[in-house]
Amino acid sequence: MSSDLDKRTMVIEREIAAPVSAIWAAWSDPEALPRWWGPEGYSCRTRRIDLRPGGEWVFDMIGPDGRVWPNHHLYTRFEPEKAIGYTLLRGEHGPLHADATARFDDLGDRTRVTLTMIFVSAEEYETAKGFGAVELGLQTLGKLAAYIGAP
């Protein structure tokens, strides 16, 4: 990775005690995804969801204090049981925040989920890191594990 990418790239990883098919089902089902997405105490209010290459998810993350963060994911890749690629915008058609990939590595009865986000700038990366994005991302993967009944 170039030094510029190093300064803009965040990687969050967790092994979940479930087969990749269970992880994929929770991530690719438009009814399931909003139920577990986001850190502890956060919920999603979906406006539109179309999970496929060229599709989008327009939603609000609602914090425990009621604060609303508009989000818009534009899906660029949807490779069953392998990976999902998407662009994160700050609100519907808002400014670019990051390009992201969720990768699913089949470990037999376990799955390694790796989230990679390449932020638009080193400053955006530092702001996200300072906000606790790594910890919040790990909480999100924890909610995924709980949703599918895996430790």
Q: Which residues have CB under 8 Å from 78's CB, separation 6+?
A: 28, 51, 52, 53, 55, 84, 85
Q: How would you write the pLDDT of the chain (151 residues) with one tens digit per residue?
A: 557 999 999 999 999 999 999 999 999 999 999 999 999 999 999 999 999 999 999 999 999 999 999 999 999 999 999 999 999 999 999 999 999 999 999 999 999 999 999 999 999 999 999 999 999 999 999 999 999 999 7
pLDDT score of 10 = 98
pLDDT score of 111 = 98
Dihedral, CA of residue 40, residue 88, residue 116 and residue 144, to nearest 10 = 30
Reduce the secondary structure of 12-69 to three states and give it as a string: EEEEECCCHHHHHHHHHCCCCHHHHCCCCCCEEEEEEECCCCCCEEEEEEECCCCCEE
Show me where the domains of the chain are located: 3-147
pLDDT score of 117 = 98
pLDDT score of 3 = 79
Write the CA distances from 83 to 68, 77, 145, integer angstroms. 28, 7, 17
Report the predicted TM-score, pTM, of the whole model to 2 decimal places.
0.94
pLDDT score of 2 = 59
Q: Which CATH class is domain 3-147?
A: alpha beta
How many beta carbons lie within 10 A of that of residue 107, not counting itself? Answer: 13
pLDDT score of 49 = 98
